[in-house]
Amino acid sequence: MAEFCKFNHILIAPPAQFRLSSGVTKFRAFLKFWLPVLFWMAVIFTASADAHSYEHSSRLVEPFLHWLFPKMAWTNIQTIHHILRKCCHLTEYAILALLFWRALHLANNNLPVWSWPKVGGTLLLVFIFAATDEFHQRFVPTRTPLVSDVFIDTVGGAIGLLILWFAHHFRNRRRNKES
């Protein structure tokens, strides 16, 4: 029951409790789960918009490799640099897959933790973004869009999910042994 205070013949009610509408709550949940995804997508997009990204990384990586292995042939150093760049692709898309999975997993749904809609949906989103990123590279000078890069990026997403699955599996195994 609300208490009222009588002061100079004016009834003053206590302030009503402030509640957020469900729209604000949903927006907050959207920001919490999807903003990291959008941020990481922007990072990837910005990196792929760099017209001279190969030159930029080669200025750092190739001299370092040459210093580390002074007798290694220059073609081998360039090959290692190329492989390193592809590993970076794998890593950035593994992170994207983890962020997509988190957003899909923590959204209000009744799906099991490792359901095909979550895992398949995550890989589909990674594939679509990788394909659009490669398409975007068509319009960047000195960049070459490659279908193989879409494959590498999608495999990176799958590797990220596989690592997450192993972590989840072993964590549950350890919990079961402790109880």
User: Please, are residues 40 and 95 in contact by the beta-carbon 8 Å criterion?
Assistant: yes
Per-residue pLDDT tens digits for 137-163: 898 887 888 999 999 999 999 999 999
Rounded to two decimals, what is the model's pTM?
0.79
The CA–CA distances, whole Å, from 97 to 8, 76, 78, 86, 108 equal 64, 31, 29, 16, 19
Query: Which one-letter amino acid corresponds to residue 2?
Result: A
Per-residue pLDDT tens digits for 17-55: 545 456 667 788 788 889 999 999 999 998 888 755 777
Residue 3 class from Cβ within 10 Å (0-12 exposed, 13-18 middle, 19+ buried)?
exposed
Give the start-to-end residue ranges of the domains of the chain: 27-178
The CA–CA distances, whole Å, from 138 to 28, 38, 96, 150, 153 equal 36, 22, 22, 13, 17
